[in-house]
């Protein structure tokens, strides 16, 4: 029997509009319940609606940094959102990563993240892996470091470790 290597990283790519829902056309936005439950399982204190507002109201096309949110209770557990808005993107595609070496937490978050992706209106990618060079390089960065230069807009994308700006 082959040994099973446990997954420790999720990569999910969907439209930013999938992160929230609006029960009626005049009411306020609500966080996607599956995404919220996954974040709560990892003790990530994030107001998804505020982050969604920030993306649509404050990030112009051709800009957008990588925001890193650490778990308040678990070591080496992160939610990472790459908020770069591509020049030709009309669907507001956003990638996020969930990383945790704590298998029990990972298994608890997994069904929520899978259901979130399966019910997204704009499904681009869903991946589970035992490691991610992208995530490793991001979490090794210092807040404010340039992670990469995006050629299409000559944008110097930074890694920002969040400490409460989007907290619940």
Structural contact between residues 70 and 81, judged by C-beta atoms closer than 8 angstroms:
no
- Residue 138 pLDDT greater than 70, yes or no: yes
Q: 162 pairs with which residues across the strands? A: none
Q: Is 145 helix (H, G, I), strand (E, B) or coil?
A: coil
Q: What is the pLDDT of residue 134?
A: 96
Residue pLDDT, tens place only, 96-108: 999 999 999 999 9
Look up the pTM and report it: 0.94
- 25 versus 11: the higher-pLDDT residue is 11
- What's the CA gap between 83 and 55, in Å, rounded? 7
């Amino acid at each position: 029997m082959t040994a099973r290597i446990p997954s420790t990283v999720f990569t999910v790519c969907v439209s930013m509009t999938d992160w929230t829902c609006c029960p009626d056309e005049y009411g306020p936005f609500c966080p996607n319940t599956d995404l919220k439950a996954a974040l709560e399982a990892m003790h990530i204190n994030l107001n998804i609606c505020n982050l969604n507002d920030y993306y649509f109201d404050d990030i112009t096309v051709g800009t957008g940094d990588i925001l890193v949110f650490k778990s308040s209770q678990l070591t080496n557990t992160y939610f990472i959102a790459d908020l770069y808005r591509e020049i030709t993107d009309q669907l507001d595609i956003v990638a996020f990563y969930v990383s945790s070496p704590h298998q029990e937490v990972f298994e608890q978050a997994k069904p929520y993240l899978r259901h979130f992706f399966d019910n997204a209106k704009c499904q681009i990618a869903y991946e589970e892996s035992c490691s991610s060079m992208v995530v490793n390089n991001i979490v090794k960065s210092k807040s404010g470091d340039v992670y990469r230069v995006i050629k299409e807009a000559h944008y110097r994308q930074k890694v920002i470790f969040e400490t409460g700006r989007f907290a619940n």
